[in-house]
Amino acid sequence: MHPSAAATSAATEDAREEAIRVTDLHKSFGSVEVLKGVSLTANKGDVVAIIGGSGSGKSTMLRCINFLETPSSGQIVIGGEEIAMRADGTAANRRQIERIRTRLAMVFQQFNLWTHRTLLENIIEVPVHVLKTPRAEAVTRARELLARVGMAEKEDAFPAFLSGGQQQRAAIARALAVDPSAMLFDEPTSALDPELVGEVLTVIRDLAAEGRTMLLVTHEMKFAREVANHVVYLFKGRIEEQGPPAEVFENPKSERLKQFLSSVS
Ligand code: ADP
Ligand code: MG
């Protein structure tokens, strides 16, 4: 049965399999409420772009979804599995969170590769040590993934010797190594020099084209318009407007969204 959530991404009306469902998510830091009841659903294969001004809560939302931050309240369901939360929002079951994290690979603005490890070591770390994949198998898979992001020659390189674009492509390969059911991208190109943005967007575009489910926080509006099938505009911790890219970008209803779009274009 399709969830009855009010804010379904609803890329199509048929009952496609649900990947991520967030309902009435709240998050406060001290007395400051940063997320004020966010609800969204991504079905399998959806690419949901999340846009909004700096400080609107985009990163916090992604980080709550995989429990890098502790939600204050709300419900999070990943692949049909509800994450059990205590009243204070912490996960009731650490094992469950670890398992969910390997299903939701996150790619950060600052790449977050382990600097003292080669690319190959970065990529096999979680498969070998968390998922207990046999090392030889993990290495074979890591090499395939490096080739896929155009980094086949760099498996023994340390991150510091690579460009930002190369590091981010390696970070994407690392995210793919756990065979995630969905990927969370938090402004994956905003730390890059302009000439390196394209090579990373190309990798993300290919992942979208092969039907990967993703939540993509981005300030690349042209790219969001191209790859997303649903766009969510966050304003001060609330979803101000959402819809298909053609509507959100070409026929925005909210004045705030209109202003935001004219400020970024
Ligand atoms: P965005 O990614 O949209 O720029 P963030 O989610 O990073 O926004 O931040 C939303 C708000 O929450 C900002 O006002 C930010 O200062 C605040 N915030 C984020 N993380 C923390 C934290 N760990 N402690 C206190 N405040 C935070
Ligand atoms: Mg952010």
pLDDT on residue 88: 67
pLDDT in tens, the chain (265 residues): 344 433 444 444 456 799 999 999 999 999 999 999 999 999 999 999 999 999 999 999 999 998 889 899 999 999 988 887 776 666 677 788 888 888 899 999 999 999 999 999 999 999 999 899 999 999 999 999 999 999 999 999 999 999 999 999 999 999 999 999 999 999 999 999 999 999 999 999 999 999 999 999 999 999 999 999 999 999 999 999 999 999 999 999 999 999 999 998 7
pLDDT on residue 95: 81
pLDDT on residue 224: 96
Nearest-atom index, ligand 1, CA of 56: 3
Sign of CA dihedral 111, 117, 123, 126: negative
Q: Is 114 a pocket residue for ligand 1 (Cβ < 6 Å)?
A: no
- Say what the ipTM of the complex is: 0.98
Query: Please, are residues 227 and 207 in contact by the beta-carbon 8 Å criterion?
Result: no
Atom 5 of ligand 1 has which residue's CA nearest to it? 57
Ligand 1 test: best mutation among 29, 62, 72, most atoms within 8 Å of CB?
A: 29
Entry pTM: 0.91
Q: Which ligand is nearest to the CA of 69?
A: 1
Atom 20 of ligand 1 has which residue's CA nearest to it? 60
Q: Which ligand is nearest to the CA of 50?
A: 1
pLDDT on residue 120: 98
pLDDT on residue 122: 97
Q: Which ligand is nearest to the CA of 234?
A: 1
Q: Is 149 a pocket residue for ligand 1 (Cβ < 6 Å)?
A: no
Q: Is 164 a pocket residue for ligand 1 (Cβ < 6 Å)?
A: no
Q: Is 34 a pocket residue for ligand 1 (Cβ < 6 Å)?
A: yes
Hey, what CATH topology would domain 18-93+212-265 get? Answer: Rossmann fold (3.40.50)
Ligand 1 test: best mutation among 59, 61, 69, most atoms within 8 Å of CB?
A: 59
Residues 6 or more apart whose CB falls under 8 angstroms from that of 136 comprise none
Token pair 């406060």 is found at 28
> Which amino acid is it at 137?
E
| Integer Cα distance of 51 and 40 in angstroms | 14
